[in-house]
Amino acid sequence: MSDDFTFGAPEPHGPLRTFHPRRATLGPARREALERLWPTLGFSVHGTGDGPLDRRALFGRDAPLVLEIGSGMGEAVAAMAAADPGRDYLAVEAHLPGIANLLLLVEAAGLTNVRVAHGDALELLRHRVPEGSLDAIHVFFPDPWPKKRHHKRRIVQPDHVALMRSRLAVGGVLHVATDWAPYAEVVLEVLAADPGLENPHGGPAPRPAHRPVTSFERRGLDLGHEITDVVVRRVA
């Protein structure tokens, strides 16, 4: 397996990406993890012909499902899944080193309630996740795309939020965390504007104890960044 190994490619003229594709560099351990663990723990979201996700085939049961969009190196989703064995966790990530690292974390912890998808989470939501089927969606530290000309690439914008909300069950939770203060303001405004979502806190939420502090978050804190959690619930 080469360092630029890919599992598939999105359509050449597909929707605007909310992430920046970059060449993946894989060390021997991560390359070996992909080769060994991917066939049983992962799948590609690229393409639209596979139909709705078969959760029983993926996890071997029909438990409440949490979707994590942009799982990074996998620290948060692995820790949360380990502490929450009654729910299943599907992590979606575009970059191979993070996928490989998560696979290693899952194996080391002996987790059976985590699966990994490679590709664009919005495409997965559009084509393979049925409406009203998710217990929660986590979007932790998405790219804030700080330059104004790139704001259209942000994942938290009205049409994307409407899509996410439609895939949540009524009562399901959308949890966004960011360390970019201007983006936090936008997140609060966009989520407040969706008529099907309710913010029980009326603003930023107290930091949930169940969301672990990752190495990425620690770097932000060391730089003096303020962490904002926004937690809303689907009501309609």
Q: Which residues are catalytic?
A: 143
d(CA 55, CA 130): 11
Under a CB-based contact definition with an 8 Å cutoff, are residues 230 and 205 in contact? yes
Residue 111: name the closest of 30, 41, 36, 45 by CA. Answer: 41
d(CA 1, CA 235): 46
**Which residue type sits at 112?**
T
Under a CB-based contact definition with an 8 Å cutoff, are residues 100 and 26 in contact? yes
